[in-house]
């Protein structure tokens, strides 16, 4: 089994995040040379995601909130911190948790083929740039495709978007954040193995998102950053339910008219 390159660990990356990736890289390397048990590695990676990365995300949000917006440089700094906060809370945590989930599955399967598949996926994820994405997509279709694309190598995601009108770019990007958060939460809390996303436009021109997975949401979900993202996208018009055992459904209703 091949080793994992650390060439993408740039000094431009916040040191704490770089340290988390070094831990992940080390765990996968030890597995690849037969010096680490996949179940123990999964525990270590999950602990880093739930502890280290989560704490970093909250720290970035706090620093952004405490930044006094007195000039352009301060606004730029606050915006930069918010981007890293969301990126750490969403995509980075999900990368770690998805790899941990796959390691658990490989441990249960107890086959060399399953373990090699996890290492290949981990290598692919570790080779991706470690930085918040700059979003240039204009249409809702393109935005949702971008958000879903990253996770297709980890679990099947079905996307049906029946929206054929132009949606203002700020709303498109907010919808993208909400969908990414839904995928992230399904992986973190529901241990899902598949997600279905359906989007349609209602008669009043608002958008209805129905995101279904085969996991279970927490019995008493704690309101946090994810809830804040859903509130931002919908104005509070969203719900999370378990319609049947191992079938969790998130509904979001997004207005398509920007406030004056």
Q: Are 162 and 238 in a shared domain?
A: yes
| Tally of domains in the chain | 2
| CA atoms of 47 and 41, how far apart (whole Å) | 10
Q: Are 147 and 115 in a shared domain?
A: no
For 230, the domain range is: 140-254
| CA atoms of 216 and 187, how far apart (whole Å) | 10
**Angle between helical axes of 93-109 and 112-126 (0-180°, round to 10):** 170
- Give me the pLDDT at residue 250, please: 94
- Give me the pLDDT at residue 66, please: 83
- Give me the pLDDT at residue 160, please: 97
- Identify whether 214 is part of a domain: yes
| CB contact burial 103-114 (16+ within 10 A = b; e otherwise) | bbbbbeeeeeeb
- pLDDT < 70: residue spans in the chain: 1-12, 69, 134-137, 153-154, 188-192, 216-225, 244-245, 258-260
Residues in Cβ contact with 123 at an 8 Å cutoff, skipping those fewer than 6 apart = 2, 4, 28
Q: Are 157 and 233 in a shared domain?
A: yes
- Identify whether 10 is part of a domain: no
Q: Are 147 and 245 in a shared domain?
A: yes
- Give me the pLDDT at residue 197, please: 96
- Give me the pLDDT at residue 86, please: 77
- Give me the pLDDT at residue 4, please: 29
| CA atoms of 69 and 65, how far apart (whole Å) | 9
pTM value? 0.64
- Identify whether 8 is part of a domain: no
In the chain, what's the furthest Cα-to-Cα distance?
Answer: 60
- Give me the pLDDT at residue 218, please: 57
């Amino acid at each position: 089994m091949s080793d994992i390159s650390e060439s993408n660990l740039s000094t431009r990356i916040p040191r704490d995040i770089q340290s988390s990736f070094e831990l992940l890289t080390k765990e996968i390397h030890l597995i690849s040379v037969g010096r680490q048990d996949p179940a123990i590695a999964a525990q270590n990676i999950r602990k880093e995601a739930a502890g280290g990365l989560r704490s970093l995300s909250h720290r970035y949000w706090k620093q952004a909130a405490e930044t006094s917006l007195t000039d352009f440089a301060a606004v730029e700094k606050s915006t930069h911190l918010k981007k890293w906060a969301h990126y750490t809370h969403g995509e980075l945590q999900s990368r770690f948790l998805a790899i941990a989930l796959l390691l658990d599955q490989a441990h249960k399967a107890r086959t060399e083929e399953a373990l090699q598949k996890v290492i290949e996926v981990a290598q692919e994820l570790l080779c991706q740039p470690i930085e918040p994405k700059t979003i240039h997509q204009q249409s809702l279709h393109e935005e949702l495709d971008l958000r879903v694309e990253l996770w297709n190598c980890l679990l099947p995601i079905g996307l049906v978007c029946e929206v054929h009108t132009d949606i203002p770019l700020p709303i498109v990007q907010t919808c993208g954040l909400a969908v990414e958060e839904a995928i992230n939460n399904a992986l973190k809390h529901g241990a899902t193995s598949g997600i279905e996303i359906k989007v349609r436009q209602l008669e009043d021109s608002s958008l209805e998102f129905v995101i279904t997975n085969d996991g279970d949401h927490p019995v008493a979900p704690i309101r946090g950053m994810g809830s804040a993202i859903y509130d931002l996208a919908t104005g509070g018009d969203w719900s999370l339910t378990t319609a049947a055992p191992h079938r969790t459904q998130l509904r979001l209703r997004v207005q398509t008219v920007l406030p004056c």
